[in-house]
Every structure is written in C-alpha cells, then in structure tokens.
Amino acid sequence: MTQQQYEECIKACLECMEACNVCFDACLEEDNVKMMADCIRLDRDCADLCGLAVKAMQTNSPAAKQILALCAEICERCGNECKKHDHDHCQKCAEACFKCAEVCRSTAA
Amino acid sequence: MTQQQYEECIKACLECMEACNVCFDACLEEDNVKMMADCIRLDRDCADLCGLAVKAMQTNSPAAKQILALCAEICERCGNECKKHDHDHCQKCAEACFKCAEVCRSTAA
Amino acid sequence: MTQQQYEECIKACLECMEACNVCFDACLEEDNVKMMADCIRLDRDCADLCGLAVKAMQTNSPAAKQILALCAEICERCGNECKKHDHDHCQKCAEACFKCAEVCRSTAA
Amino acid sequence: MTQQQYEECIKACLECMEACNVCFDACLEEDNVKMMADCIRLDRDCADLCGLAVKAMQTNSPAAKQILALCAEICERCGNECKKHDHDHCQKCAEACFKCAEVCRSTAA
C-alpha cells in the first residue's frame, strides 16, 4: 500500500490519538478520578497504539497490517470503556475509537 | 496553556513527524542508501520527538515546554541534514523541520 | 498477571529491544547499507514493539496479552530478516528476536 | 560515545522506566486516586522519556546528549512529585528518578 491509500486510516488514528490523550488529561481533572481509572489506562494504551499505527503507515512498515489489526482491537476496547461514562470527553473519545477501529479493520483486511 | 493554544504547534509537529517518517522510508529506497545514513537516523529521532511533543501537548503535560524546546533543537538538526540532499522527500522534510522548530521555539518561550 | 509473572518476558523484550537498536545503528555503518534496508526497517519496528510490550507489562495493561501476541509476530519477522545476514550484530539480533518471540507467545497464551 | 560507555546510564533509565510504570499502575489502584493525579501524569511522561533516552543511547543517536539532559529534568520533576507520597511505590519511584537524573546529567555532561 502507498501513503495515499493509508490516508484515511492515518487521519482516523490521529483523531483517535488526540481524543484519547485529551480524555486522559480530562479524566485526571475529574472529581471522581477513581471511577475513571480504567479509562485512564486504556486512553494511554490506545493513544500509544494509534501513534505506533501512524508510524507504521507513514514508514510503509512491512508489519503495518498486523499493527492495524491490533490497533482496531485496542480502540474497540477503549471505546467500550469510554462509552460507559457521561463526560463529554469520554463520549467523544468513544466515538473516535469506534471510528478508528472500523477504519483500521478495513485497511488491514 | 490549553489544547487550543497548542493547536498550531500540534499541527506543525504532526506535519514534521509525517515528513520525517516519509523521508525515512524513501531514503531506504534510494540507490545510494549509504549516503542517506545520517538522514535515516535523524528522521527516526525527529519523528519520535515530534510524536512525544504532540503527546505532551495533548495531555497538558507539566513538562510540555521543556519537551518542545528539545523538539525544536532536534528538528533544526534534522532539517540541516535533510537540506544537504536534493531528493524531493529530503527537501520537503527540511522545510517541515525548520517550520516545526520555529513554532516549537515560540510556543515553548 | 502480576509484574513478577511477567518478569521473564520483560527481560526477553528488553534484550530484543537492545539487540534491534544496536543492529539498526550497526547496519547504518555497514559498507553496503542498501543490502541492509529491510533489516533497518524491521529493527526499528521490532525495537518499538518490544518497548510497547514492556510498557504494557509494567503497567499491567488490560491489552498486554494482545500486544505480546503481536510482538511475537514482529520479532519472528525481524529474526527471519536478520538471520539472512552474516554480520555479528544481525546474527545476535536474530537470536534475541527468536528468543523473545517464543517467550512472548508462551506468556500471551 | 559507545554503547559500553552508555551502559550505566541505560541501566539507570531502564530502572527508572520500570519504577515509573509500576507506580503509574499502582497509583491507579489506590483508594484516593485523585490525590495521585499529578503523580500519574509524571509517571507516564517520565517512563516515556526514559524509553526515548534508552533508544537514543542504544542507537548512538547524534541527539543522545540533548535527550539525556531533558530526561534528567523530567526525572527530577517526577521524583519531586513522588517523594510527597508515602506509598512504597512512590518512594521507590522517587529514588529511581533521582538516581536516573544524576546519571543522565553526568553522562550528558
């Protein structure tokens, strides 16, 4: 695949990475941080995976498709945790995660 | 600083990260890879630093400004190496590096 | 799993990460860098994956097992490329990669 | 510098990275997570910086010394936050951070 064919997927990963990092920061500012512990963990994992996926696509890594397949799974998991919480940042993050999971899956296929 | 105030700098770092990763890939496809060795090294370092800087800004890290100051230095160095080479990907990368160095420096100030 | 149960796997990943980074550096110093291009790419990917796996284990990430499964695949691939080359750093890297792949696979099981 | 001259510093960074990642995980399991918010943030930043420093040394990056200088600053900051908290994982992390800051500073000098 070329950089261009990866374009949509790179965009989805960057948006998901941003949503996860913003959610990580915002969760740590909430009154009830304890309730957000799993969200904080998964936000970190998911942001890091999205970053790795972007790097793999931008460098045309031979392992890109395998990394995208894993990225889709982690996004799915992060989205499922985030959607449990009413905070705006969590709901936005869940949306970005599910979108990213879908695009990663179809790009990896 | 808020996410919004970081917006221009996040954009510059993401563009520089992409240019460096694309240049890394393209250098490895050149006929004379040996000549590109320093460029390949610095592309990796610079892309990783830009990624770290983006994460620091998106999470409102207390260390963001220090990370941006270092990012500016690495971008400068990578740009200086890239601009020595006539390849399109190197010239584009140099431009993205110098732009990013400038924005990081002013944001860190 | 606990940090302690991950101990052997963390050790294998750290050794593989080091071997890959050292091999990346040494490949770029070889006379025939062009021949090493795939090795250089995979060294970067594999070192980064090992680093991610270590982070996942050290933080007890809920996604650790999935990350280890992918790490095993990338290590396998990097080992297969490295073992084609006679350089000491490539042979050592191949050995570290295959060892790491094995430990990651059994830890993820 | 050679890999060998970096040996002590790589070891200190790996120990600090582990202490920070373990502290990140343990802070998220504490009863009063809110009180640990800054510690959680800095543990993530510091672990990531230590990882970057290790990569820079293992690949003989031309930017290694600059990265070590920043790593020392972040370790110092993380250690100062951690030492405020009585939890064993925080005290251990503070110790690893201060040790790492010292070694990074002398290696970068």
User: Which of C24, C38, C39, C70 would best serve as a mutation to test chain A binding (most A beta carbons within 10 A)?
Assistant: C70
Closest CA to C95 of C79, C84, C106, C107: C79
Distance CA D55, CA D34 (A): 33
Over residues B34-48, the mean pLDDT reads: 96
Please choose, from the candidates C49, B17, C60, the residue with its C-alpha nearest in 3D space to the C-alpha of residue A70.
Answer: C49
* pLDDT attached to residue A30: 95
For residue C60 the two structure tokens come to 């007890």
Cα–Cα distance measured from residue A35 to residue A92, given in angstroms and rounded to the nearest whole number: 18
Closest chain D CA to residue C51: D51
Q: Looking at the predicted structure, is the pLDDT value of residue D3 above 70?
A: no
| Closest Cα in chain D, distance from residue C58 (Å) | 6
Asked if the model's pLDDT at residue A1 lies above 80, the reply is: no
CB contact under 8 A, D25 and C58: yes
pLDDT above 70 (res D1): no
DSSP secondary structure letters along chain A: --TTTTHHHHHHHHHHHHHHHHHHHHHHHSS--GGGHHHHHHHHHHHHHHHHHHHHHHTT-TTHHHHHHHHHHHHHHHHHHHTTS-SHHHHHHHHHHHHHHHHHHHHH-
Task: Give the residue from B54, B61, B71, B97 with the most D CB atoms within 10 Å of its CB, the best one to mutate.
Answer: B61
Predicted confidence (pLDDT) per residue in A89-99, tens digit: 999 999 999 99
What is the distance of C-alpha D32 from the center of its chain? 23
Q: Are A27 and A33 in contact (CB under 8 A)?
A: yes
> 10 Å Cβ neighbour count for D73?
17
pLDDT beyond 70 at B3:
no
Fold of A7-108: Substrate Binding Domain Of Dnak; Chain:A; Domain 2 (1.20.1270)
Q: What interface predicted TM-score (ipTM) does this complex get? A: 0.94
pLDDT tens digit string along B50-103? 999 999 999 999 999 999 999 999 999 999 999 999 999 999 999 999 999 999
Q: Which chains touch B (3 or more CB pairs under 8 A)?
A: A, C, D
pLDDT, one tens digit per residue, over A7-49 is 999 999 999 999 999 999 999 999 999 999 999 999 999 999 9
Across D45-54, average pLDDT: 98
Partner residue facing C25 (CB), from D21, D47, D59:
D59
Considering only residues B79 and B33, tell me which one the structure prediction assigns the higher pLDDT.
Answer: B79
What value does the mean pLDDT take over residues D64-76? 97
For residue A88, the model assigns a pLDDT of 97
Q: Please tell me what DSSP assigns to residue D109.
A: -
Q: What are the phi and psi torsion angles at A57 (to 5°)? A: -70, -45
Q: pLDDT tens digits, chain C, 109 residues: what are they? A: 666 679 999 999 999 999 999 999 999 999 999 999 999 999 999 999 999 999 999 999 999 999 999 999 999 999 999 999 999 999 999 999 999 999 999 999 9
